[in-house]
Amino acid sequence: MDHSTDWINVVFGLLFASGGAAIVIFYMRLYWFRRTALARGLMAEARCVQTFETEERDSDGDKIRKLHMILAFRTRDGANVRLERIVSVHATTGVHFVGDVVPVRYLPEHPERATVTAPGAGQESCVMGCGVVIGLLLACAGLFGAAVQFGFAP
């Protein structure tokens, strides 16, 4: 086998691993921000000002319905904040109609990244956990592939 092919495979494996590491870092930062907002964030009551559904197709061709909620609230210093949250159509977020009130927590320096604290909002943590696991699997697979090509693994 040509040695240039070996190095290309090593580089590809390392790029794969770095992509997995980037996914892990992304989801860990989301988790840290959400946890910080829930622990130390200021409480506010957001009002649902608009809801709408979208449909997408997944890789198998199945329809995925998503509920978009536009929430608005006022911070303690008087700033008006609007944010969009996408949830599963079947999620129990406590929001069903325009005008419903949803409790949120926000950090004063980033009110636009408020976290919904209503029942059913824990699905975000589940998605974050799955993202971390997938990132770790990709990183490990990339490192193993690079090690095999480099000759360090059996």
Q: Where are the domains of the chain?
A: 3-150
Confidence band of 80 (pLDDT split at 50, 70, 90): very high
Segment 138-146 mean pLDDT: 87
- Nearby residues of 62 by Cβ (< 8 Å), 6 or more positions away: none
Smallest CA-to-CA distance from 67 within 10, 105, 123, 27 is with 123
pLDDT at 95: 57
For 5-39, how does the pLDDT look when each residue is reduced to its tens digit (9 = 90+)?
A: 677 878 888 888 898 899 889 988 888 888 888 88
Smallest CA-to-CA distance from 117 within 34, 50, 31, 30 is with 34
Q: What is the pTM of this model?
A: 0.63
- Nearby residues of 6 by Cβ (< 8 Å), 6 or more positions away: 149, 150
